[in-house]
């Protein structure tokens, strides 16, 4: 096999490998986009859950507050 044929084969392999790497890169980019979207969704859900917990904590009576007053505020007679 001549040097030119060997070089042509190596170039062909490099071109094929380049195509494989491009496809792999595209798949990784798609996975990254999906994971990023999932992370953003989870952050949003976490913020909403924190807001709900904070709202519930604000409804709790303060320490030392009389039980009767707590019942009146809750609407219990």
Q: What is the pLDDT of residues 2-11, one digit of tens each?
A: 999 999 999 9
Q: What is the pLDDT of residues 46-71, one digit of tens each?
A: 999 999 999 999 999 988 776 656 55
Tell me the C-alpha distance between 53 and 69, whole Å: 23
**Contact 61/71 with Cβ under 8 angstroms?**
no
Indicate the pLDDT class of residue 35, thresholds 50, 70 and 90: very high
Rounded alpha-carbon distances, angstroms, from residue 20 to 7, 12, 13, 16, 69: 20, 12, 11, 6, 72
Instruction: Determine the pLDDT at residue 62.
Output: 85
Q: Is the pLDDT of residue 1 over 90?
A: no
Instruction: Determine the pLDDT at residue 42.
Output: 98
| Whole-structure pTM value | 0.63
Task: Output the six-digit token pair for 73.
Answer: 């505020």
What range does the domain containing 31 cover? 3-73
Number of domains the chain is built from:
1
């Amino acid at each position: 096999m001549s040097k030119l044929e060997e070089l042509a084969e190596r170039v062909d392999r490099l071109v094929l490998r380049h195509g494989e790497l491009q496809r792999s890169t595209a798949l990784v980019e798609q996975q990254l986009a999906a994971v990023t979207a999932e992370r953003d969704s989870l952050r949003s859900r976490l913020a909403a859950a924190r807001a709900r917990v904070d709202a519930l904590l604000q409804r709790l009576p303060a320490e030392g507050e009389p039980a009767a007053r707590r019942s009146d505020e809750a609407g219990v007679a």
